[in-house]
Structure 1
Amino acid sequence: MSQVEAQGRRQLLKAGMKLFAERGFAAVGLREIGAEAGVSLGLVRTHFGSKDGLREAIDAHVREEIRALYAQVLEHSSVEALEKAIEDALDWIPRDHDALMYARMSLMERTPGSQALFDEMLAVMRQFIDNNARLGFLQPDVDREWAAIYMVFDFIGPAVIEPFAEHALGQSMYAKPMIARRNAFMIRLFTRGFLKREG
């Protein structure tokens, strides 16, 4: 594949991801994607064959982005890893906001790739929990499966409520101050909790 062809393919992936994330898979046509990417309809078909083929390629791209985001985190442990995740997320979210919004759309619409996307996220979080258990950083009475599921909630949950955040909270869930507050609370929740027991 030539450099020009590779560039066209990247533009199509980016345009499809953005439009699908904003409006859903069914509401977007190939002509719109080609126009958004600044390429011909024929190039869409050349690279991906169909809208379904483009969606499959975007699904694979988003899964790879999530793997890459957490690859370095998995090398760390305990609070250090959570702090590393915060730093990486602060960099990743503005850079690849459309990938995150696409993941939200995929899960909410239950597209053909959504199960694989969920499985990928859960696998990454399970690995994080298992690494911490192996290194002795996991509290002994923790339900590992629910710890991993909670981390999936924390990753995708803010994207789900993002459309309502501006009105209800006065700012985007992905404004830097909101991300910092959310992640500070997550670290507290993971390490200390936040409710007192009676007595």
Structure 2
Amino acid sequence: MTSPRPHRAIRRTTGRRPDAEAAETRARLVAAARTLFAQRGVDAVGTREIAGAAGVTHGLVRHHFGSKQGVWQAVVDAADAEFAATLQPLADAITRTETESPCEPDTAAFIEGFIRACARQPDIARLLVHEGSVPNDRLDYLLGSLNSARAAVAPVAARLRAGGALPDVDDDEFLLLLLLAGMLPFGVPALAQGVLGQPLSPDRHARVLLATLFSGTSDR
């Protein structure tokens, strides 16, 4: 009588590639960390809490990022990429237009696009608030990530200077102005609403900032 053949182990697949699953896990961890960091700051959040919020095991945090600092850098990189994807096409439109008038539609479109991006991503402003108080390694990394934003706003600042608006303001000063006047109000919505008596409107805020920037130009 012939002995029965041993059963071969059957690999069960979910129909998804391991690299796709890894990318999804990484994205969930980054999204969870971004929310928690923006709410309470990096120091107040542990990697176990990040894993729990993402619905994955704690070991996957170290597997994908090595440490909480690695998670922080991934959060900053993701936020920077999203913001740059919004700003760069608007900046390119200004670069293609040869004019010294600061009131051209593409200049206004950049400011409006910047404000709307800030309104969609208020957690970026909160991250800046948490990490911008004292010098540290995380702030250094955050400042390095601002290079893409700095490059995007440079043609806008040049247009404003050439047209007589903000004539003595350099690129870095203009970037700081946009971060503080354009972005920060969306990171502190309770304060903004308390001052205004109503929720902050992105469209209204953009018009106010545009009016302020162009108030000294002759062709407005």
Which interval holds the TM-score relative to the shorter structure?
0.7 to 0.9
Deviations 1:50-76 (A, max 9, x none): 111101111222222232221012123
Look up the SS of the partner of 2:126 in the other structure.
Answer: helix
**Against the structure 1 CA distance between its residues 18 and 109, is the aligned structure 2 distance closer, same or farther, given a 3 Å change threshold?**
farther
Aligned partners of 2:29, 2:129: CA distance in 1, in Å?
A: 20
Alignment counterpart, residue 13 of structure 1, candidates 7, 14, 30: 30
- Check whether the contact 1:129–1:138 (CA below 8 A) recurs between aligned residues: no
Query: Aligned partners of 1:66 and 1:39: how far apart in 2?
Result: 27
Where structure 2 has 5 or more consecutive residues not aligned to the other structure, the ranges are 1-17, 95-101
8 Å Cα contact 2:165/2:216 also seen in 1: no
Calculate the aligned-residue CA RMSD, in Å. 2.9
Pairs aligned (count): 186
Query: Once the two structures are aligned, what percentage of the paired residues are identical?
Result: 23
Which is greater in Rg? 2
Q: Which residue of 1 aligns with 2:51?
A: 34
**Residue 165 of structure 1: how far off its partner (Å):** 2.4
List alignment gaps of at least 5 residues for structure 1: 195-199
Higher relative contact order (CA 8 A, sep 6+): 2
Tell me whether 1:170 sits opposite 2:187 in the alignment.
Answer: no
The equivalent position to 2:153 in structure 1, one of 90, 107, 125, is: 125
Q: Distance in 1 between matches of 2:183 and 2:60?
A: 32
1:149–1:23 CA distance, 2 compared to 1 (3 A): closer
Cα deviation for residue 179 of structure 1 reads 1.6
5 Å matches for 1:81-160? Answer: 81-87=107-113, 89-90=115-116, 93-94=119-120, 96-108=121-133, 110-118=135-143, 119-120=146-147, 121-130=149-158, 132=159, 138-139=163-164, 142-145=167-170, 146-159=173-186
Q: Which amino acid aligns with 2:167?
A: V
Q: How far is 1:116 from its partner?
A: 4.4
- The list of structure 1 runs, each at least 4 consecutive aligned residues, that deviate by more than 4 angstroms after superposition, is none
Query: Which has the higher mean CA deviation after the structures are superposed, 112-121 or 24-33?
Result: 112-121
Query: 2:189 corresponds to which letter in structure 1?
Result: E
Q: Secondary structure at the match of 2:164?
A: coil
